[in-house]
Amino acid sequence: MLEKKVIAVLGAGPGLGLSIARRFGREGFAVALVSRSAARQAAYREELSAAGIESRAYVADVRDPVGLRDVLAAITPDLGPIDTVYFGPVAADTSGGLVPITEVDAAAAREPFETLVLPAIELVGAVLPEMTERGSGAILIPGGLSGKYPIPMLGRLAPASAALRMYVLTLHEALKERGVYVATLTIGGLIKGGDIHTAVSKHFEQLEAEMPASLDPELIADQAWMMYVGRELPESEFSTLPVPA
């Protein structure tokens, strides 16, 4: 009997994280949902269960190195060895606000490195040894469009986003012959269903203004699955934002 594969969705939320969980779950994966709060986990698990998808939920702040390693260690005894990790917390951490590139100082640039880049490196350090030992596994890390194109208004995020993107692309190159697939989903724009999208939608409703175009998380999750199956593409881009030609 084949062992069921497991995907750990770290930073599980109502937008892309849940769509990733559903998409891989439809392919027979058991899903480990990890988020900082248990408040919405029961609803997530109920939705997955209705679709015939096995899941477990865990509470941890995966930006904390100890919490990250502890939660990863708890998943395997419950569900089995982790085949795939989707590291969602890095996708949309704009808690410090948008700072144009011309106003970015060292302090403003440092925080995104601490919340975007370093947690991703901690994740890889936690899961990669087992994956390389067995010669299989996948790591999917989304990132921001400002890491690929110069978008001055997102300047505060650009240095960390660029570092994260190059880190993932370099890992892909280093590991592609060793059975471990690493790739990035480069995202520019709001994702439907996510918390940021919900907050922005309410703002536009109050203004009685038209909401900007948004990204469909189901389409992104479909592409993530195709990337996982093909195991060749190091990056896919999804954007509603204008970028330099």
**Tens digit of pLDDT for each residue in 4-37?**
899 999 988 888 999 999 999 999 999 999 999 9
What is the C-alpha to C-alpha distance for residues 208 and 111, in angstroms, rounded to an integer? 34
The candidate with the shortest Cα–Cα distance to 145, out of 133, 158, 127, 135, is 158
Residue for token pair 């106003």: 103
Q: Are 111 and 57 in contact (CB under 8 A)?
A: no
* pLDDT, greater one: 243 or 108: 108
SS3 call for 50: helix
Cβ neighbours around 135 below 10 Å, total: 9
What's the confidence (pLDDT) of residue 206?
Answer: 63
User: What is the average pLDDT value for the chain, to the nearest integer?
Assistant: 88
- The answer to whether residue 118 scores a pLDDT higher than 60 is yes
C-alpha 210, offset from chain centre:
28
Domains and CATH numbers, the chain: 6-237 (3.40.50.720)
C-alpha 139, offset from chain centre:
10
CA distances from 132 to 22, 31, 120, 137, 155 (A): 26, 21, 17, 8, 36
What average pLDDT does range 112-127 have in this prediction? 94
What's the confidence (pLDDT) of residue 194?
Answer: 59
Q: Are 174 and 149 in contact (CB under 8 A)?
A: no
- Nearest 10 degrees: Cα torsion 51, 53, 56, 59: -60
Backbone angles phi, psi at 238, to 5 degrees: -135, 120
**Tens digit of pLDDT for each residue in 156-204?**
888 999 999 999 999 999 999 999 999 999 998 888 765 565 555 665 5
What average pLDDT does range 123-146 have in this prediction? 96
Q: Are 214 and 163 in contact (CB under 8 A)?
A: no
The tokens for 164 are: 């994260």
Sign of CA dihedral 116, 174, 185, 65: negative
Query: pLDDT band for position 122 (50/70/90)?
Result: very high
What's the confidence (pLDDT) of residue 93?
Answer: 45
What is the C-alpha to C-alpha distance for residues 6 and 198, in angstroms, rounded to an integer? 29
SS3 call for 208: coil
DSSP 88: G
Query: pLDDT band for position 245 (50/70/90)?
Result: low
The candidate with the shortest Cα–Cα distance to 11, out of 185, 213, 210, is 185
What's the confidence (pLDDT) of residue 92?
Answer: 47
What is the C-alpha to C-alpha distance for residues 75 and 8, in angstroms, rounded to an integer? 8
**Tens digit of pLDDT for each residue in 42-98?**
999 999 999 999 999 999 998 899 999 999 999 999 999 999 999 987 654 445 567
Query: pLDDT band for position 99 (50/70/90)?
Result: confident
Of the CA atoms within 13 Å of residue 175, those in its CB half-sphere come to 26
- The answer to whether residue 244 scores a pLDDT higher than 50 is yes
What's the confidence (pLDDT) of residue 81?
Answer: 95
The tokens for 187 are: 């995202």
- The answer to whether residue 3 scores a pLDDT higher than 90 is no
